[in-house]
Amino acid sequence: MTSNVAEYEHVPDDESYLTGEDVSMPEEEEEEEEEEDDDDDHIYINEETESGREKVLVSHAPLERIVPPLNFCPVERYLYRSGQPSPVNFPFLLNLKLKTIIWLSNEEPQDTLLEFCDSHRINLQFAAINPDAGEDDNPWDGLTEHSIINVLQTIVTQENYPLLVCCGMGRHRTGTVIGCLRRIMGWNLASVSEEYRRFTGSRGGRILVELLIEAFDTKLVKIDKNKAPSWLLTALE
């Protein structure tokens, strides 16, 4: 004898099943997601309190990205080196409060850099490494001490600071000037070469540059101790 067993399904407390409506609650989930997204716009730190560790709002995230120029690096206090800055780097440069930018090239920098310096009253000093080179000449032929000395005279004078030395890529021309500065500071050649090669990338350094740095006569740069940066005076002691 077969018994008929009635199967009962669980009936929801509300009557939404009668209309076929979805009873899920997406609105609350969306609100939670929105709250999580809002966290991305702030910077938080953890603070220890009596009730435990809490997330405390510190400030808003920066409205624009702060990007340093290619091969940017501090050399000494308020003295920096880099490749040619582009517009994306300008907010970063503003934080440095630069007074002088030395441009090491036979060609003029980009118009955007010229406009940036003009707008913010930054002294842009042109210092062609080889001012006599023609359009078809290798800019490294006839590398002159005269141009390097002029740049170094600017660097050893405190009134020009904060100061940025730059060239197209921030490698060889900038490396030449900084290498000669290190010689003035009394660095040994091994340390000077190591610093120079650190910025040259996979291609390595140029023998011509290292030979010029080695042969550079540091006595040609006149240093006024009343006007020189403090870090230079310390190095010369």
In 3D, which of 168, 173, 215, 171 has the Cα closest to residue 197? 171
* C-alpha span between 213 and 15 (Å, rounded): 88
Active-site residue (options: 117, 166, 167, 180): 167
Which segments of 120-206 does DSSP mark as H helices, in order?
Answer: 145-155, 172-184, 189-198
DSSP annotation of 10 reads P
For CA atoms 181, 117, 71, 104, the dihedral sign is negative
Q: At a CB cut-off of 8 Å and minimum separation 6, what does 227 contact?
A: 156, 157, 158, 159
DSSP structure string for 31-70: HHHHHHHHHTTEEEEEEEETTEEEEEEEEEPPSS---PPT
Helix axis angle, 207-215 relative to 172-184, nearest 10°?
A: 20
166 flagged as catalytic? no
Q: Are 139 and 149 in contact (CB under 8 A)?
A: no
Catalytic residues: 167
